[in-house]
């Protein structure tokens, strides 16, 4: 499987970091995890447009994880070239109601014309989606928040936290994975409830025993050099940048 960081940023607009989004490519299927602002353009930089996304998973519905769904759905109606392939959206409980309200706010402008959207609620369970098995667990951020562990048919494993504080569920999702993509939102001295710091992220990564760790979702006070030198982790450590790629 190939993994691309589409957005390594946060709620704070940035010229160098789009908000959260990850592209997973496996056996010809393009799967998104979150769709924050700026990530639709980063998909275009990867040569992928609104016809070529097969399935979208959301970790939660904060705007920095979801906003580009709106231009994606609007563009998918473009009458000269409408999207025709059905779309699946997977998220935790509460998402379907949120999605219906969001669509309704725009009247008919986000409604599919030539395809259908299926919302799948997945909660604390494992499901198969084509070549991927996906386990979701509730993580510590907001009620809807779910982290994911993805396994492909060759046994490669990826864990994605979305936004989370330290929690046992994320340690379990990241157990011995080939790559864990973990948020690290604030420096140690600016700890914010519902988010990780370098100290807590290193504890979580060590307990999970992940092979490679990619930290992401850095709020502006984060000093990346400081994070790298303070981080206590034996595996390979990456600090995310937009369009960083991994092969698992
Ligand atoms: Zn966020
Ligand atoms: Zn959030």
Closest ligand to Cα 60: 2
Domain edges within the chain: 2-247
pLDDT at residue 221, as a whole number: 86
Centroid of ligand 1 to alpha carbon of 228 (angstroms): 21
Cβ atoms of residues 205 and 180 within 8 Å: yes
pLDDT at residue 149, as a whole number: 98
Residue 36 to residue 13: CA distance in whole angstroms: 11
The confidence band for 196, taking pLDDT boundaries of 50, 70 and 90, is: very high
pTM reported for the whole predicted model: 0.97
pLDDT at residue 222, as a whole number: 86
> In percent, how much of the chain has pLDDT > 90?
95
Long-range contacts at 75-81 (CB < 8 A, ≥ 24 apart) = 75/50, 76/50, 76/51, 76/112, 76/115, 77/109, 77/110, 77/111, 77/112, 77/113, 79/113, 81/51
Closest ligand to Cα 34: 1
Centroid of ligand 2 to alpha carbon of 153 (angstroms): 31
Centroid of ligand 1 to alpha carbon of 154 (angstroms): 31
Centroid of ligand 2 to alpha carbon of 79 (angstroms): 34
Closest ligand to Cα 8: 1
172: helix, strand or coil: helix
The confidence band for 191, taking pLDDT boundaries of 50, 70 and 90, is: very high
The confidence band for 89, taking pLDDT boundaries of 50, 70 and 90, is: very high
Give pLDDT tens digits for 3-62: 999 999 999 999 999 999 999 999 999 999 999 999 999 999 999 999 999 999 999 999
Mean per-residue pLDDT over the chain, rounded: 97
Q: Nearest CA to 60 among 194, 153, 242, 185?
A: 194
Give pLDDT tens digits for 178-188: 999 999 999 99
Centroid of ligand 2 to alpha carbon of 113 (angstroms): 31
Centroid of ligand 2 to alpha carbon of 163 (angstroms): 5
Residue 130 to residue 92: CA distance in whole angstroms: 20
Residue 51 to residue 59: CA distance in whole angstroms: 22
Closest ligand to Cα 10: 1
Residue 151 has pLDDT above 90, yes or no: yes
Class in CATH terms, 2-247: alpha beta
Average pLDDT over residues 125-135: 98
245 pairs with which residues across the strands? 4
Centroid of ligand 2 to alpha carbon of 76 (angstroms): 26
Residues around ligand 2, an ion, CB closer than 5 A: 62, 163
The confidence band for 229, taking pLDDT boundaries of 50, 70 and 90, is: confident
Give pLDDT tens digits for 92-116: 999 999 999 999 999 999 999 999 9
């Amino acid at each position: 499987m190939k993994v691309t960081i589409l957005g390594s940023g946060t709620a704070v607009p940035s010229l160098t970091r789009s908000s959260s989004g990850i592209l997973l490519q496996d056996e010809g299927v393009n799967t998104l995890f979150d769709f924050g602002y700026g990530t639709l353009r980063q998909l275009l930089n990867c040569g992928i447009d609104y016809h070529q996304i097969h399935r979208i998973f959301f970790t939660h519905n904060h705007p920095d994880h979801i906003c580009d769904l709106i231009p994606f759905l609007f563009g998918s109606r473009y009458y000269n070239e409408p999207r025709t392939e059905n779309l699946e959206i997977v998220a935790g409980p509460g998402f379907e109601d949120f999605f219906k309200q969001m669509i309704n706010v725009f009247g008919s402008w986000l409604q599919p014309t030539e395809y259908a959207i299926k919302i799948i609620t997945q909660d604390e369970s494992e499901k198969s989606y084509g070549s991927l098995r996906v386990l979701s667990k509730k993580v510590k951020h907001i009620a809807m928040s779910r982290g994911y562990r993805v396994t492909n048919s060759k046994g490669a494993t990826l864990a994605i936290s979305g936004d989370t504080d330290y929690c046992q569920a994320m340690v379990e999702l990241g157990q011995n994975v080939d790559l864990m993509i973990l948020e690290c939102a604030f420096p140690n001295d600016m700890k914010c409830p519902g988010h990780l710091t370098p100290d807590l992220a290193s504890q979580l990564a060590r307990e999970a025993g992940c092979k490679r760790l990619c930290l992401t979702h850095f709020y502006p006070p984060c000093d990346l050099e400081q994070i790298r030198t303070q981080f206590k982790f034996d595996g390979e450590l990456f600090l995310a940048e937009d369009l960083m790629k991994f092969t698992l």
